Structure 1
Amino acid sequence: MAKRMVATLGATGAQLPVDSTTGAAMAPDLAPLKKLAEAHTRQPQQPFAADDLDLSPMVRPVSQQQIYRDEGFYTWCNSIIRDKDGTYHLFYVRWPKEHGFYGWLTHSEIARAVSENPAGPYTFRNVVLPSRGEHPWNRITAHNVKITELAGKYYLYFISTSDGGRNATEADLAATARTGYSAPLWQPLRNNQRTGVATADSLDGPWKVHEKPVVEPRGPISNVTVNPAVWQTAENRFHMIVKGDSPASRVAQALAIADNPLG
């Protein structure tokens, strides 16, 4: 199965991890995957544990009111938080459909909608962070949003990227969004993705984007730090799970630990 996956990735021109020294694409090393597969097949079949947990009575059809749409935009990466007054705030990313689906890497922005019910309906409130940032690390796109409250302050974690000093124009970025993986700018934009944070005292803002990423690729991951998930431990430390590249498995999850939610 692993061999078929690698062949499919090559046939479709999908993005692969890139060696940070040579710039060459790195195909996954199948040896660790083969070992895992063999170990799994050697395990004796275990019977399912008997319990009385049955979630089926709780499953209900989804009404149209529970589906949030933003006309003219693709929407993605939602994160919901409840404020002290009981209002639910849906932070999500969106980008104009005119740029096509690959526009998430070039034109994504973070928006907010509100509701009195966690299931909706939600009403659009405002754009929280635009797709063009002020710092070198977040010049282009705002994506993978995660909202959380820590120590009485709101932290909006998200990913962004830059063109690595190539001075890309808006026309260049629009062409990249139309072309996708094979565009000349796609790989630099993809490999410069970093996780950063914006902070505010209120969910209404204003939001301050901090000038540097909160985590850089190192240790078990390389090239990128994306898809952040953050929580505070009982020992008042802050843990973040992020995704990056890994030669052995194409991508991997890593755990970052800090004494401060800003890294």
Structure 2
Amino acid sequence: MAPIYDDSGKLHVFMSAIPNDGNWTKDSKIVHYTAKSPEGPYTFVDITFASNTLTYHNPQISQVNDTYVLVYLLKSRETPNINQEIGIATSKSLDGPWKESPYNPIIKASGTQKDGANIIHASNPTFLKDKNGKFRIYYKSISDAFGTNWNREISLAMSDNIEGPYENYQENPLISYADKGLDIEDCYAFYYKDSYYMIVEDRKGVKNMLEGNPIPAEDIELGGNRPGLIYKSEDGIHWGKPEVGYKTNEQYFGDKLARTERPHILWKNGEPEYLFLACHDEDPSAGFFVKIEGWIPE
């Protein structure tokens, strides 16, 4: 769920919806719900984006002045799963109408990285306005640097205009552990109290490796079956060593451990209020949220 309050205080959420007999790589669409509070109940509003030729997935919602900005994974139904790209749409109202950028897909599964590797994948975007008034999209990228050992990295594209066109940062990827066979994904980036922050899913034990206690390769369980990470940066380019950004469903609620991913913050009056997370647990709600209390960044 990608949550945001409107000017009247009503909560809106945008999320992926997949038919029970479908596949997200072909059949996902973005839907819109509203509620009076995070606790719900939630009321279905509309199908925001759906297509017979494209799949829309993993949205993230932001506001810049009087404009709402929705970024999302965009993929042709016919292309291989690895070939994912990124789209963007804007609206003056959370109820639409939404206008997709004429530059979509604004970040394509193409181009090269600083090491000369070819970018073959761009997905799961997060958008922000930087301290200089420009616009940034951080996203999950995959290159062919290590053949078909497709480790997820974090890259950046920038533009002077919300709708684009966006140009990839020449020194991509910004954060990568591909040389160690590890990866992160599902970045959620934000600018807060004069610093940039990024929350990510730790898919293969990056935290363990950085602490000098790597998980043996044969024991690594794929996916976010471990706490997520949070990074801090003064320029949004150079990122330091991460700390724990969120816990698992087991740690929060005592539930059977499941993959927790797709972090999003619900902001209220410029302050982080709740963290929303998707979770592959046995509860069909498929996610949870936790209150953010007393977080004072260093």
Whether the TM-score (by the shorter chain) exceeds 0.5 is yes
Letter in 1 for 2:264: A
CA shift for structure 1 position 162: 2.5
Residue by residue over 1:35-57, the C-alpha shift from the partner in whole angstroms, topping out at 9 and shown as x without a partner, is: xxxxxxxxxxxxxxxxxx9955x
CA-to-partner distance for each residue in 1:57-104, whole Å, 9 max, x for gaps?
Answer: x646x534753213332111111111232211111111125766x94x
Please identify the structure whose Cα radius of gyration is greater.
1
Residue pairs, 1:164-203, within 5 angstroms:
167-168=216-217, 188-190=221-223, 192-203=225-236
Amino acid in the other structure paired with 1:79: T
Which amino acid in 2 is paired with 1:219? F
Residue 247 (structure 2) pairs with residue 215 (structure 1): yes
Specify which of 117, 120, 136 is matched with residue 164 of structure 2: 120
What is the RMSD computed on CA atoms of the aligned residues?
A: 3.7
Q: Which consecutive unaligned segments of at least 5 residues does structure 2 have?
A: 1-18, 24-93, 112-117, 209-213
* Between structures 1 and 2, the one with greater strand share: 2
**Secondary structure in structure 2 of the residue aligned to 1:243:** strand
Structure 1 residue 120 displacement after superposition: 1.2
5+ residue gaps, structure 1, are: 10-52, 169-183
TM-score by length of 2: 0.52
> What is the DSSP-based 3-state SS (H/G/I as helix, E as strand, rest coil) of the residue aligned with 1:128?
coil
Give the AA of the match of 1:63: P
Task: Name the SS of the counterpart of 1:190 in structure 2.
Answer: coil
Structure with greater helix percent: 1
Are positions 1:78 and 2:120 aligned together?
no
**Contact 1:155 / 1:198 at 8 angstroms: preserved in 2?**
yes
117, 140, 153: which one aligns with 1:93? 140
**Which residue does 2:175 correspond to in 1?**
129
Q: Is the 8 A contact 2:227 2:244 kept in 1?
A: no
Aligned residue pair count: 187
Write out per-residue CA displacement over residues 230-262 of structure 1, whole angstroms, 9 at most, x where no aligned residue. 13435956420112232232x621112232167
Task: Flag the 1:202–1:131 CA change in 2: closer, same or farther, 3 A.
Answer: same
Higher relative contact order (CA 8 A, sep 6+): 1
Q: SS where residue 247 of structure 1 aligns?
A: coil
Residue identity in the other structure for 2:274: H
Q: With the length of structure 1 as denominator, give the TM-score of the two structures.
A: 0.58
Aligned residue for 1:120, secondary structure, equals coil
**After the TM superposition, which parts of structure 1 deviate over 6 Å for at least 4 consecutive aligned residues?**
none
